[in-house]
């Protein structure tokens, strides 16, 4: 069955049941062929659940008319279309005002952003996703995020927005892959009918930038992998308790015992999010996938979530640099599944810790939130009698040091690696704009190579906002909002640390001067003591002589029975029952 001419521009009708979508793979044609699949017996529970929610008919042209279902939606789709903050031109901004959207959407923020982004990149159309199960699942998912200062549904939405931005915005000099298997939705080179499907919408969009020497990373991912990346971002901190892995291990928390102290939180997030999906057929928005696609999708989601464990940070970073940035590296092979997975893991990792790369007001608010969550853990550690973890003692805050260290040791190396590999969105700097720039462009290839290597080897966390890159034509500079923000934020925290150090030194000096200016109490001289004793005596009572001061008490001389040398023995002080108890007596 072929689509009519009115559907030639992204209007696809999908029938659920035993029908599977096939793509002609013709680059110049948008016609969609559909054929009936023979019924197959499901052989396991996962497959049975996977095919157990086929109620809806989806028509992509109008989301409000997409759903024909007896189930009610968690919110009105019209509210998405009416929300100005959810307009795609706003979502294409790296410094997207996420907290303004949270104030507007409240508990629906994750599901509304997920719906908007899945629709924007064509995933509903590509995988025949029924809207009703999709909204039910993502709304239940966002409600499962606890009300923690940092690890909440707002953070999950921010990470989802981050992976969307990094995979959809133009990257200067990015090489767009155009092999035939990249046009399929699962990226497989197999000729099996169930694996031939339509190409990602981003691939078509990416091709429009080739003439301008730009590319889009998402265009190099099969649609299945892109959907897995976005879903992993939404799931990645599900049911986060607001405590670190180290805390859960130290307290023998049930999650730590269950996962043998290894990537405790990340395993928990993935397992609980998938348990939610499998708990009710009404959540099955993946009913358009065949068994092989579902299996790979689940694998990719889990791998991406587990990559967010910061204990694996340098392991993943080293593997990426070895393939993409080291002197003998051949670069990422976009036709290899393992290399694409590595790229996805780098993307979700950067999106997960993107706070320092945001404009300062956003960055500062995220900083305040993570600090409060840390302090809550520190409070519990103190109440349990445990040592308080670094940066988690609210009695001695070290906010500036925390962020400077975080940027310097974690975020900066990660972002540097992505910049050096040419995987960060940005814009080319025109030659006339760069003539007077502090970072001047070089036509010499070796100089460009050196500049890129210097960027990779930076360890002090300071990033240049204009990065020298080498392309096939000549080295050029790009303007990157992520590195610009990070550089400015890092400089602000360094200045804050210096200011705090100066204040600390000034306070110490002031305390020393205060101690020096205070009068020192002296012992009264002998005459004053005698006069005071005389004035205090009762008439007719003999005046008692004041005892000699200890340094004037005569000492007895004795001999050591084992040696011939003499030793001075301090006088013994005893208490006489017939004398004033305040007066020591010499015997």
- Residue 98 confidence (pLDDT) above 70: yes
pLDDT surpassing 60 at residue 540: no
Greatest Cα pair distance in the chain: 132
pLDDT at 476: 72
Cα 376 to Cα 305: distance, rounded to the nearest angstrom: 25
The pLDDT of residue 477 is 85
Q: List, in sequence order, every beta strand (DSSP E) within 503-581.
A: 556-559, 566-569, 573-574
pLDDT band at 438 (very low <50, low <70, confident <90, very high): very low
More reliable by pLDDT, 327 or 24: 327
Judged against a pLDDT cut of 50, whether residue 36 lies above it is answered with: no
Structure tokens at 24: 């002609």
Residue (of 83, 72, 155, 71) closest to 112 by Cα position: 83
Across 72-81, 342-351, 522-531, which has the greatest mean pLDDT? 342-351
Q: Nearest-CA neighbor of 59 among 15, 12, 18, 103?
A: 12
Question: Which is higher by pLDDT, 443 or 295?
Answer: 295
Task: Return phi, psi of residue 536, to 5°.
Answer: -90, -10
**pLDDT class for 518, splitting at 50, 70, 90?**
confident
Residue predicted with more confidence, 152 or 454:
152
With cut-offs at 50, 70 and 90, classify the pLDDT of residue 200.
low
Residues 6 or more apart whose CB falls under 8 angstroms from that of 525 comprise none
Residue 122 CA, chain-centre distance (Å), reads 27
- The reply to whether 151 belongs to the active site is yes
Directed axis angle between helix 412-420 and helix 337-352, to 10°?
140
Res 534: pLDDT: 57
Distance of CA 209 to the CA centre of its chain: 30
- Residue 359: burial class (beta carbons within 10 Å; 0-12, 13-18, 19+): middle
Please state whether beta strands 214-215 and 585-586 pair in parallel, antiparallel, or not at all (unpaired).
unpaired
Tokens linked to 519: 């009068």
List beta partners, residue 466. 479
Structurally, at CATH architecture level, domain 353-428+455-513 sits in Orthogonal Bundle (1.10)
Q: What is the pLDDT of residues 347-362, one digit of tens each?
A: 999 999 999 999 999 9
Residue 315 near residue 163 (C-beta atoms within 8 A):
no
Q: Which two tokens stand for residue 569?
A: 């023995």
Q: What is the pTM of this model?
A: 0.72
Task: In whole angstroms, give the CA distance from residue 52 to residue 259.
Answer: 30
Query: DSSP states of 348-392 as a string?
Result: HHHHHT-GGGS-HHHHHHHHHHHHHHHHHHHHHHHHTTPPPPTT-
The predicted-structure confidence for 417-435, as pLDDT tens digits, reads as follows 999 999 999 999 876 554 4
CA-to-CA separations, 294 to 14, 51, 221, 422, in angstroms, rounded: 18, 11, 17, 31
pLDDT for res 521: 64
* pLDDT score recorded for residue 512: 82
Whether the predicted pLDDT of 549 surpasses 60: no
Identify the band that residue 449 occupies on the pLDDT scale cut at 50, 70 and 90.
very low
Distances (CA, A) of 381 to 96, 244, 461: 35, 12, 31
Q: Does the structure show a pLDDT above 80 at 316? A: yes
pLDDT top residue among 544 and 146: 146
Domain 5-291+303-308 has CATH 1.10.1300.10: yes
At 403-421, the pLDDT tens digits run: 999 999 999 999 999 999 9
The answer to whether residues 288 and 129 touch, using CB atoms and an 8 Å cutoff, is yes
- Give yes or no for residue 74 having a pLDDT over 60: yes
Query: So what's the pLDDT on residue 532?
Result: 59
Q: Above 90 in pLDDT, residue 499?
A: yes
What is the rounded average pLDDT for all residues in the chain?
Answer: 77
Q: Which pLDDT score, from 0 to 100, does residue 293 have?
A: 98
Q: Do residues 304 and 344 touch, judged by C-beta distance below 8 A?
A: yes
Beta strands at 585-586 and 566-569: parallel, antiparallel or unpaired: unpaired
pLDDT score for 431: 64
- CA angle at 314 for the pair 313 and 318, rounded to the nearest 5°: 125
- How many residues are recorded in the chain? 587
| pLDDT of 228 strictly over 50 | yes
Distance CA 555, CA 568 (A): 6
Q: Where are the beta strands (DSSP E) in 109-217?
A: 171-172, 214-215
Give residue 288's pLDDT: 96
Q: Please classify residue 346 by burial: count the beta carbons closer than 10 Å to its beta carbon, then call 0-12 exposed, 13-18 middle and 19+ buried.
A: buried
What are the tens digits of pLDDT across the range 113-142?
999 999 999 999 999 999 999 999 999 999
Q: Name 135's Cβ contacts closer than 8 Å, sequence gap at least 6.
A: 73, 74, 75, 111, 115
Residue 272 neighbours by CB distance under 10 Å: 17
- Under the banding of pLDDT at 50, 70 and 90, the label for residue 212 is confident
Stretch(es) of the chain classified as CATH 1.10.1300.10: 5-291+303-308, 353-428+455-513
Query: What's the rounded Cα separation, in Å, for the pair 66 and 36?
Result: 22
Centroid of chain to Cα 173: 27
Does the pLDDT of residue 522 top 70, yes or no?
Answer: no
| Nearest in space to 488 (alpha carbons), one of 551, 419, 403 | 403
Q: What is the reported pLDDT for 386? A: 98
Based on its alpha-carbon atoms, the radius of gyration of the chain, rounded to whole angstroms, reads: 36
Q: Comparing C-alpha atoms, which of 139, 118, 137, 136 is closest to residue 128?
A: 118
Say whether pLDDT at 6 is over 80: no
pLDDT score, position 574: 39
CA distance 216 to 337: 18
Instruction: Decide which of 342 and 549 is more confident.
Output: 342
pLDDT at 31: 35
Q: Helices in 20-65 by DSSP H: which ranges?
A: 45-50
Please tell me the predicted confidence (pLDDT) of residue 213. 87
> What average pLDDT does range 239-251 have in this prediction?
99
- At 115, list the tokens: 């719906």
**pLDDT score at 354:** 98
What average pLDDT does the segment 66-76 reach?
Answer: 66
The answer, yes or no, to whether residue 580 has pLDDT greater than 50, is no
Residue 24 pLDDT:
32
Which is catalytic among the residues 151, 161, 268, 363?
151
d(CA 63, CA 131): 8
H/E stretch holding 20 reads: strand 19-23
Q: Is the pLDDT of residue 473 over 50?
A: no
CA–CA dist 200, 555 (Å, integer) = 101
- Count of CB atoms situated within 10 Å of the CB of 358: 23
Distance CA(469)–CA(463), nearest Å, equals 14
What span, in angstroms and rounded, lies between the C-alpha atoms of 494 and 497? Answer: 5
């Amino acid at each position: 069955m072929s689509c009519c001419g009115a559907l030639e521009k992204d209007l696809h009708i999908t029938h659920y049941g035993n029908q599977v979508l096939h793509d002609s793979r013709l680059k110049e044609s948008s016609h969609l062929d559909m054929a009936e699949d023979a019924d197959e017996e499901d052989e396991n529970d996962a497959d049975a659940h996977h095919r157990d929610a086929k109620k809806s008919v989806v028509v992509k042209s109008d989301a409000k008319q997409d759903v024909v279902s007896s189930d009610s939606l968690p919110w009105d789709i019209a509210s998405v279309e009416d929300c100005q903050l959810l307009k795609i031109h706003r979502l294409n901004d790296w410094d997207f005002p996420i907290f303004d959207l949270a104030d507007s959407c409240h508990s629906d923020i994750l599901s509304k952003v997920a719906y908007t982004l899945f629709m924007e990149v064509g995933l509903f159309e590509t995988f025949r996703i029924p809207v009703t199960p999709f909204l039910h699942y993502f709304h239940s998912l966002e409600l499962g995020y606890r009300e923690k200062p940092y690890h909440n549904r707002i953070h999950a939405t921010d990470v989802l927005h981050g992976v969307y931005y990094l995979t959809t915005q133009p990257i200067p000099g990015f090489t767009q892959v155009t092999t035939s298997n990249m046009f399929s939705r699962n990226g497989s080179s197999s000729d099996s009918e169930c694996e031939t499907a339509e190409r990602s919408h981003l691939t078509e969009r990416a091709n429009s930038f080739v003439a301008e020497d730009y590319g889009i990373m998402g265009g190099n991912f099969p649609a299945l992998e892109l959907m897995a990346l976005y879903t992993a971002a939404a799931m990645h901190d599900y049911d986060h308790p607001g405590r670190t892995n180290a805390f859960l291990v130290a307290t023998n928390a049930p999650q730590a015992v269950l996962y043998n102290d290894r990537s405790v939180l990340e395993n928990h997030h993935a397992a609980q999010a998938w348990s939610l999906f499998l708990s009710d057929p009404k959540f099955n928005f993946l009913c358009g996938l065949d068994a092989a696609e579902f299996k790979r999708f689940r694998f990719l989601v889990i791998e991406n979530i587990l990559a967010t464990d910061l204990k694996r940070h340098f392991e993943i970073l080293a593997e990426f640099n070895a393939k993409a940035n080291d002197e003998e590296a051949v670069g990422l092979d976009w036709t290899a599944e393992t290399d694409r997975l590595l790229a996805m893991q780098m993307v979700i990792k950067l999106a997960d810790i993107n706070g320092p790369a945001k404009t300062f007001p956003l960055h500062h608010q995220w900083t305040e939130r993570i600090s409060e969550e840390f302090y809550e853990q520190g409070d519990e550690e103190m109440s349990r009698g445990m040592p308080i973890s670094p940066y988690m003692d609210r009695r001695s805050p070290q906010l500036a040091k925390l962020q400077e260290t975080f940027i310097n040791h974690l975020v900066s190396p990660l972002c540097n690696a992505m910049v050096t590999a040419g995987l960060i969105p940005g814009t080319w700097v025109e030659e006339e704009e760069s003539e007077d720039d502090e970072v001047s462009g070089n036509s010499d290839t070796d100089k460009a190579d050196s500049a890129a290597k210097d960027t990779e080897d930076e360890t002090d966390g300071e990033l240049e906002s204009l990065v020298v890159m080498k392309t096939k034509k000549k080295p050029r500079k790009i303007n990157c909002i992520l590195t610009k923000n990070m550089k400015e934020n890092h400089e602000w925290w360094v200045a804050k640390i210096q200011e705090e150090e100066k204040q600390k030194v000034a306070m110490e000096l002031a305390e020393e001067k205060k101690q020096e200016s205070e009068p020192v109490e002296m012992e009264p001289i002998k005459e004053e003591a005698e006069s005071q004793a005389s004035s205090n005596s009762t008439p007719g009572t003999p005046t008692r002589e004041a005892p000699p001061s200890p340094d004037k008490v005569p000492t007895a001389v004795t001999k050591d029975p084992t040696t011939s040398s003499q030793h001075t023995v301090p006088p013994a002080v005893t208490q006489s029952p017939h004398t004033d108890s305040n007066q020591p007596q010499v015997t």
